[in-house]
Amino acid sequence: MSVERWLWVVRFGALLAVVACGGGSDADDSGAPDAMADASVADAGDAAALDGATGDAGADASADSGTDSGTDSSMPLPRRNEGSPLGTNLSGIRDWVPSWPFVDVFKTSRGWISGSSSEWDDGRPVDVDAEGWVRSLAAGQVARALMLWSSTHFPEGQYIVLYDGVGTLEYRQGASRDDAASAPGRDVVDFASSAGGFLMNLSSTDASDPLRNIRVIMPGGVCSDDALSYCDASSPCGTGTCESFEDVYATQVFHPQFLSRVARYRLLRFMDWMDTNGSEQSVWADRPKPSDARWSTHGVPVELMVELSNRLSADAWINIPHLADDDYVTQLASYLRDNLRPDLRVYIEYSNEVWNGQFAQAGYAREQGLAASLSTNDFQAQLFYQSQRSVEIFQIFEGVFGATDRLVRVMAAQAANDWTSTQVLEFGAAGAHTDALAIAPYFGSSLGGPSERARVSAMGVDELMTELSTNTLPTSIGWIRDQAAVASAHGVALIAYEGGQHLVGNRGVENDATINALFDAANADPRMGDLYTTYLNAWRSEGGQVFAHFTHVAEPGKYGRWGSLEYEDQARSEAPKFDALMNFIDANPAWW
C-alpha cells in the first residue's frame, strides 16, 4: 500500500473518531516540502495532516439578537459570543461521535445494514425511497440502524421512538422496549450506553404503508425560558418550566447541551457537517435535505446550518464541494443571502485542503489544472486550479449578494509551506477577490512518525510536555510568523481554518500502545491547557485573526485526540483544551 493510500485510510479511520488529520510526517517538524513537490501528508511535515477550517476577518455582528422564547427555533438566543476571537469546527455527524447536536438522534444513525436472523451483515441492498426510508424488505431480511455507538458517554434513560406506517421495530444491545408503555407509532425505549449501543432492527414493513419517518427523541427537555438549558427530573429549571423534548422536538431541533457548548464561538466551520472531504455532490438537486432520513451519510442540510448560525449569532463557514457546478454554487449563495441573518457573515472556501494530496479533491484539482495547462508541474497545477476555481466561486457569491460586506472569501494553504500561499494568492485574479489567507498551524505531528518512535516511547508525560513547549510549538509559531508576512504583503487577513495539538501516530505508530497511552495522558494533562494559552497568545501577537479550533467533540484514540471535549457534557474542569479556549475568549476580545 502506498504511503498516500495509507494516509487516506488513516484519514477515514480518524473520521471514525472525528478526524482532522491522519498522518503527519516522518520528517522534522519544521520541514516544509520542496516548493514544487506534491503536498501529500508524508511530505509536508506538521502541517500535512491539517483539515480545513477558517476564521473571521471581519467585525462582530452588531444587530441586536433579541431574546429567546425558549423553544422557537426561529428566534436567536441571547448572544454569548460578542467579541469572541475564536471559532470551532463542528464534529462530523456519525453514530459513534459522542456529541449530540440534535434532539432526534436518528439523524445521526448509520446507514441501513442488511442482515438476517443468522447474519449481521449479509451484503444485500436495502430498498429505500428518495429520503432513505425502507420501502420493502426481501424475504428474511432485517434492516439495522445503529445509533449512540461505541461510547459509554451517550446519555442514558428513556428514549421515545416515533414513527409512521406499519411494521415491526426491535431493539438490541443497550436498548430495550418498555412494552407496557409503548403503543403503535410510539415506542418507549430504555437505553443504557454501558450495555452497548442503540441497535434498532426493522424486521417487517407493510409495502403499502411502510414504516417510515422514524424519530428517536432523547431523554429530558429544555427550559421554556432558556433554550440553552437542559432539564430533567434531577436538573429542574430555575424559573421556567421543563418542556419535554417529545413535545418540542419539531422546533427545538438542537440539543441545549450542544448549544451551550458552542455558544461562545464567533464562527462555526461546517466542513465535517458537509462531508466535504471526497464529497460527490455536484448538482443542487442532490444536496442534503431536511427531509432526509439521516444526516450522517450525505451531510447536514444548509437549512440546518443556517438555523444554527442564526440562533447562536455565529458566522457560517461554508465549504463548497469540489465537484459543485456553477448552478449549485448560485443556489447555495442565494439561500445563504436570503436566510442567514444579515448581520452575520459567510466564509466561503473551496472544498477543504485542496493542497493536501491525501484527499480526492486534491487529485481532482491536479487533473483539472494539468488538463487546462495551468502549469506543467503537478503540484503547482493543483494549486493554480484551487485558486482559479475559488475565484470563480467568489465571483458567483459576489454577484448573488451584490456586494462583499457579508462575505469573507477564504484562500487556504499549507501552514508549513508559505510558498503554497503565494501560489494561490498570486494566480490570476485571486488578489482582487480574496479577503483571508487560512492555515492550520497544528503543533506536535512530527512526534508520531516512525523515526521518532523509539525516542517518544521512552518519554514520560513531563518529557513530552517539555518537547512540545520547547520544540514543536515554537516551530508552529514560526510558521504563523512567516504566513502572517505573506498575508500582510498581499493585503489579506491571516486566519486559522483549523489548529490545536496534533498528537497522533502514523504509519504503524498509531498501533503503539505505549505511545497512545502517552499521547492520551498528555492530551488530558492540565499543562495542555497552558500550552494552548501560549499557542493562542502567539497567534495573536504574530498577527493572526480568528482561529477555528479542530474540533468540538471527539474521543481520544489511535486516530487522534482532536476534540476540545471528549464528549458533549464533559465537565470543563476535566477538559483542559476546552477550558483554555474559553479562558482565551474571556481574556481576549477580538483585536482586529
pLDDT, block means (10 residues), the chain with 592 residues: 33 38 34 38 31 32 36 78 98 98 98 98 98 98 98 98 98 98 98 97 98 98 96 95 98 98 98 98 98 98 98 98 98 98 98 98 98 98 98 98 98 98 97 97 97 98 98 98 98 98 98 98 98 98 98 98 98 98 98 98
Q: What pLDDT, on the 0 to 100 scale, is given for residue 17? A: 39
C-alpha cell at 184: 403503535
Helix (H, G, I), strand (E, B) or coil at 543: coil
Paired with 113 in beta bridges are: 144
- Contact yes or no for 108/255 (Cβ under 8 A): no
Burial class (CB in 10 A: 0-12, 13-18, 19+), 193: buried
- Contact yes or no for 293/133 (Cβ under 8 A): yes
Side chain identity at 53, as an amino acid letter?
A
Helix (H, G, I), strand (E, B) or coil at 462: helix
- How many H helices and E strands in the chain? 15, 21
Helix (H, G, I), strand (E, B) or coil at 113: strand
- Its pTM stands at 0.90
- Contact yes or no for 319/361 (Cβ under 8 A): no
Q: What pLDDT, on the 0 to 100 scale, is given for residue 76? A: 86
Q: What pLDDT, on the 0 to 100 scale, is given for residue 221? A: 98
381/549 Cα distance (integer angstroms): 29
565/572 Cα distance (integer angstroms): 8
394: left (phi over 0), alpha (psi -120 to 50) or beta: alpha
C-alpha cell at 12: 477515514
Q: What pLDDT, on the 0 to 100 scale, is given for residue 5? A: 30
C-alpha cell at 191: 437505553
- Contact yes or no for 554/17 (Cβ under 8 A): yes
pLDDT digits (tens, 9 = 90+) for 97-135: 999 999 999 999 999 999 999 999 999 999 999 999 999
Helix (H, G, I), strand (E, B) or coil at 183: strand
Question: CB under 8 Å to 116, separation ≥6 — which residues?
Answer: 122, 140, 141, 142
Q: Using alpha carbons only, give the angle 109, 552, 11 rounded to the nearest 5 degrees.
A: 70
The half-sphere exposure of 85 on its side-chain side, counting CA atoms within 13 A, is 21
| Closest-CA residue to 322 (of 291, 282, 355, 357) | 282
Question: CB under 8 Å to 160, separation ≥6 — which residues?
Answer: 186, 187, 188, 189, 216, 217, 245, 246
CA torsion through residues 559, 564, 568, 571, sign: positive
| Closest-CA residue to 222 (of 31, 79, 70, 58) | 70
C-alpha cell at 48: 500535512
Side chain identity at 445, as an amino acid letter?
S
* DSSP annotation of 112: P
Q: How many CB atoms lie within 10 A of CB 176?
A: 15
Q: Using alpha carbons only, give the angle 167, 171, 175 rounded to the nearest 5 degrees.
A: 145
Residue 142 CA, chain-centre distance (Å), reads 32
Side chain identity at 102, as an amino acid letter?
F
Using alpha carbons only, how large is the chain's radius of gyration in Å? Answer: 23
145/171 Cα distance (integer angstroms): 10
- Tell how strand 221-223 and strand 198-205 pair up: unpaired
DSSP state string for 54-93: ----SPPP-S------SS-TTSPPPP--TT--EEEEPPP-
520/523 Cα distance (integer angstroms): 5
Q: What pLDDT, on the 0 to 100 scale, is given for residue 144? A: 98
| Closest-CA residue to 508 (of 454, 443, 556, 468) | 454
pLDDT digits (tens, 9 = 90+) for 467-477: 999 999 999 99
Residue 498 CA, chain-centre distance (Å), reads 10
- Contact yes or no for 458/393 (Cβ under 8 A): no
Q: Which helix (H) or strand (E) holds 433?
A: helix 430-433
- Contact yes or no for 86/266 (Cβ under 8 A): yes
35/39 Cα distance (integer angstroms): 9
108/110 Cα distance (integer angstroms): 7
Q: Using alpha carbons only, give the angle 32, 555, 497 rounded to the nearest 5 degrees.
A: 40
Beginning with the edge strand found earlier in the chain, give each strand of the sheet holding 226-231 in spatial order.
226-231, 221-223, 242-244
| Closest-CA residue to 134 (of 112, 105, 119, 116) | 112
C-alpha cell at 141: 431480511
* DSSP annotation of 272: T
563/504 Cα distance (integer angstroms): 13
Secondary structure of 347-360 as H, E, C letters:
EEEECCCCCCCCCH
Phi, psi (deg, nearest 5) at residue 53: -150, 145
Burial class (CB in 10 A: 0-12, 13-18, 19+), 284: middle
312/314 Cα distance (integer angstroms): 5
Q: Which helix (H) or strand (E) holds 477?
A: helix 473-489
